[in-house]
Amino acid sequence: QQQVKQSPQSLIVQKGGISIINCAYENTAFDYFPWYQQFPGKGPALLIAIRPDVSEKKEGRFTISFNKSAKQFSLHIMDSQPGDSATYFCAASDTGNQFYFGTGTSLTVIP
Amino acid sequence: EPEVTQTPSHQVTQMGQEVILRCVPISNHLYFYWYRQILGQKVEFLVSFYNNEISEKSEIFDDQFSVERPDGSNFTLKIRSTKLEDSAMYFCASSKTASYNEQFFGPGTRLTVL
């Protein structure tokens, strides 16, 4: 019930392309969905987050799309750059404190 | 830019030994968290802490674990008797307020239990 399923496990994208990472959840009480970006040797850092009262949130090249009925949300990275190469984690929370993380997606952007 | 710091970066210990992992949260933050990430697996919540009390804890956070804020700056995670399966990266995080607020993560402590 508390699982967050994330796919794909790894992703290779050409520079300038669109990277898409998908997550799905079961617990309908989840009401906060952050995405974290992690570079090697660093802790996860918040990239963008969404609440279920909106279907989309955009910050620069990063967009979260949220489908409440399907219990799915996704991260789109437009115009992907080599500097975007990192591991991306989706997460969900029903209290705003305890986060349930996905298994992570390793993104490689090829120049 | 303020950041969460953690020490040590890598700790190696023998099974059955006690370890203390240390964190210095961002100075004006009031909520503190510990997470762990077993190699190749997802990040898992352990515990949240506010006002010198545990506010939430997961099933992983059993009697072998304890947290403490011994002074105004440090936040510690103690594992009383380490097991092989405690080997993981442990992340500390802090946030300014509770609920739906950005949690800032430290760089982690890699714990290896032999």
CB within 8 Å of B25: residues ≥ 6 apart:
B4, B32, B73, B75, B92, B93, B94, B104
Q: Report the pLDDT value the prediction gives residue B1, as an integer from 0 to 100.
A: 77
CA–CA dist A4, A72 (Å, integer): 10
CA–CA dist A47, A44 (Å, integer): 9
Chain A contacts of B41, Cβ < 8 Å? 103
CA–CA dist B61, A107 (Å, integer): 31
In a mutagenesis test of the B interface, which of A37, A89, A97, A100 is the best target, namely the one with the most B β-carbons within 10 Å?
A97
Paired tokens of B111: 């714990």
Beta-carbon-side half-sphere exposure of residue B89 (alpha carbons within 13 Å): 18
Q: Report the pLDDT value the prediction gives residue B99, as an integer from 0 to 100.
A: 67
Q: Report the pLDDT value the prediction gives residue B39, as an integer from 0 to 100.
A: 87
Of all residues in chain A, the percent with pLDDT exceeding 70 is: 98
Instruction: Look up residue A90 and give its amino acid.
Output: C
CA–CA dist B93, B48 (Å, integer): 9
Residue carrying the six token digits 């040590």? B8
Q: Report the pLDDT value the prediction gives residue B101, as an integer from 0 to 100.
A: 72
Closest among B101, B75, B77 to B89, alpha carbons compared: B77
Low-confidence ranges of chain A (pLDDT < 70): 1, 96
CA–CA dist A107, A92 (Å, integer): 20
Q: Report the pLDDT value the prediction gives residue B58, as an integer from 0 to 100.
A: 92
Residue carrying the six token digits 């992907």? A80
Tell if the CB–CB gap between B42 and A104 is shorter than 8 Å.
Answer: yes
Among B45, B93, B100, the residue with its CB nearest the CB of A96 is B100
Q: Report the pLDDT value the prediction gives residue B98, as an integer from 0 to 100.
A: 72
Taking only the tens of pLDDT, chain B with its 114 residues reads 789 999 999 999 999 999 999 999 999 899 999 999 998 888 999 999 999 999 989 999 999 999 999 887 899 999 999 999 999 999 999 998 876 678 899 999 999 999
Residue carrying the six token digits 């300014």? B96
Q: Report the pLDDT value the prediction gives residue A72, as an integer from 0 to 100.
A: 96
CB contact at 8 A, B94 and B104: yes
Phi, psi of A83 (to 5 degrees): -65, -10
